[in-house]
Amino acid sequence: MKDHMAGLCLAQAELCSRLGSPMYAALLESAAEDVRAGGPTWEVLRDLAGCSEGAYPALRLLGSVHRVVLEGRAPELAVHYPSVGGTPGEGLWEAFRAVVVEHSDELRALVEQPPQTNEVGRSAALLGGFTTVAGRTGLPLRVLEVGTSAGLNLLWDRYRYESDSWSWGDADAPVVIDDVFDGPAPDLAPARVVERAGCDLDPVDVTQDAGRLTLLSFIWPDQHVRRGRLEAAIQAFRDADPQPAVERADALTWLDERLAQRLPGVATVVTHSVVVTYFDDESRRALDELLTRHGRAATPDAPLARLSLEADSSGQFEVRLRSWPSGVEELLGTVGGHGLPVRWASSLTPAHA
């Protein structure tokens, strides 16, 4: 079990390195050694022994420790954390390990909770799908998000996206996501959202400071751009009138009830990003079957679409769109784990269901 957990820490270390967090990569390499040695890191993660890579135990640990830092309860570690003005340096691992020892009982409870990132950069990856539906149907959109976390990506149409000389969205938007595309930017249609709602088993209320802290704790401390983007999106959510509806509910029950309410003259888009990795096989099949069943009832005047950003079997993140009544599924693009950059599918082969 220790070797398995150490392997998960090393796999996450490699991913952190590829996604631009050398600080977290270094911490997890040391954490893996501590796990193998049966040290305090193993004691905190012991209850997750045997979990799958998709449970992200290493990110749970890092986010939980980061929360303690952000709350001002780990001053010796804080000097290494850029999120609170520090600089990673010699002694980082020793300070981290000391916090794990001091707060072990608290951390053991915190790591039981799945990561709640609500990564705003994923809106850039989903943008192409939403605008594709709007452009093809000529209809306004009803957006239903499964696993919505705090609901920040439900406001995707109120953000601005930029890439070289290309842009989409209002120039005075409160959130700006730049360097969107790896390669040529597509010509995206305008879109209008008339309804937006989401559900989550454990939604995060960012109108409260505790919810804001939860999301910030899962932003990697040495990634200032992601942090700034999240802070801006939280404020945009707080300022929204009305705020998107975010409900505590089981995805399948919630979605079934809403899709039973057909809205002529509106295109319904069911969306999810990095969510099905937390589903078991039975739940994944049930979601597929539910959407297929409701898709059979779709009409050109009341179409249905499924827009997803999920990892494939090789770990590559893909943006896919399935549309009804046609039932056709397309690969729209591939993206980084945080949604950026987007590699548009002009150079990729669409897949059909």
Does residue 352 fall inside a structural domain? no
Does residue 115 fall inside a structural domain? no
Specify whether 73 is located in the same domain as 206.
Answer: no
User: Residue 336's pLDDT is what?
Assistant: 86
Q: Check whether 349 has a pLDDT greater than 70.
A: no
Q: Check whether 37 has a pLDDT greater than 60.
A: yes
Specify whether 106 is located in the same domain as 163.
Answer: no
Specify whether 136 is located in the same domain as 104.
Answer: no
* In contact, 159 and 177? CB cutoff 8 Å: yes
Specify whether 229 is located in the same domain as 294.
Answer: yes
Q: Provide the token pair at 282.
A: 């039975």
- The residue to which tokens 């770990």 are assigned: 315
pTM beyond 0.75: yes
Does residue 117 fall inside a structural domain? no
CA 187 to chain centre: 25
Q: Check whether 351 has a pLDDT greater than 80.
A: no
The HSE-up count of residue 332 (CA atoms within 13 Å, CB side) is 28
Helix ranges (H only) for the chain are: 2-18, 22-36, 40-45, 57-70, 75-78, 92-102, 104-110, 122-137, 209-217, 224-239, 251-259, 281-296
Measured from the Cβ of residue 234, the count of other Cβ atoms closer than 10 Å reads 22
Specify whether 232 is located in the same domain as 90.
Answer: no
Question: How does DSSP classify residue 25?
Answer: H
Q: Which residue did the predictor score with more confidence, 183 or 218?
A: 218
The C-alpha atoms of residue 186 and residue 177 are separated, in whole angstroms, by 16
- Band (pLDDT 50/70/90 cuts) for residue 346 is low
Specify whether 73 is located in the same domain as 193.
Answer: no
* In contact, 333 and 131? CB cutoff 8 Å: no
Specify whether 265 is located in the same domain as 311.
Answer: yes
User: Residue 317's pLDDT is what?
Assistant: 92
Does residue 255 fall inside a structural domain? yes
Specify whether 187 is located in the same domain as 94.
Answer: no
Domain final residue, candidates 81, 110, 139: 110
Q: Check whether 347 has a pLDDT greater than 50.
A: no
Q: Check whether 259 has a pLDDT greater than 90.
A: yes
**Residue 334 φ then ψ, to 5°:** -120, 150
Residue 9's domain comprises 2-110
With a pLDDT cut of 90, the percent of the chain lying above it is: 88
Domain final residue, candidates 110, 137, 169: 110
Specify whether 235 is located in the same domain as 280.
Answer: yes
* In contact, 134 and 192? CB cutoff 8 Å: yes
Specify whether 144 is located in the same domain as 61.
Answer: no
- The mean pLDDT of 111-132, rounded to a whole number, is 94
Domain count within the chain = 2
Specify whether 128 is located in the same domain as 228.
Answer: yes
Q: 67-107 pLDDT, tens per residue?
A: 999 999 999 999 999 999 999 999 999 999 999 999 999 99
Does residue 93 fall inside a structural domain? yes
User: Residue 189's pLDDT is what?
Assistant: 94
- The mean pLDDT of 287-302, rounded to a whole number, is 98
Q: Check whether 314 has a pLDDT greater than 90.
A: no
Antiparallel, parallel or unpaired: β 176-177 and 160-163? parallel
Does residue 204 fall inside a structural domain? yes
Measured from the Cβ of residue 135, the count of other Cβ atoms closer than 10 Å reads 13
- Band (pLDDT 50/70/90 cuts) for residue 337 is confident
User: Residue 350's pLDDT is what?
Assistant: 36
Does residue 95 fall inside a structural domain? yes
* In contact, 270 and 148? CB cutoff 8 Å: no
Does residue 269 fall inside a structural domain? yes
Specify whether 184 is located in the same domain as 269.
Answer: yes
Radius of gyration of the chain (CA): 21
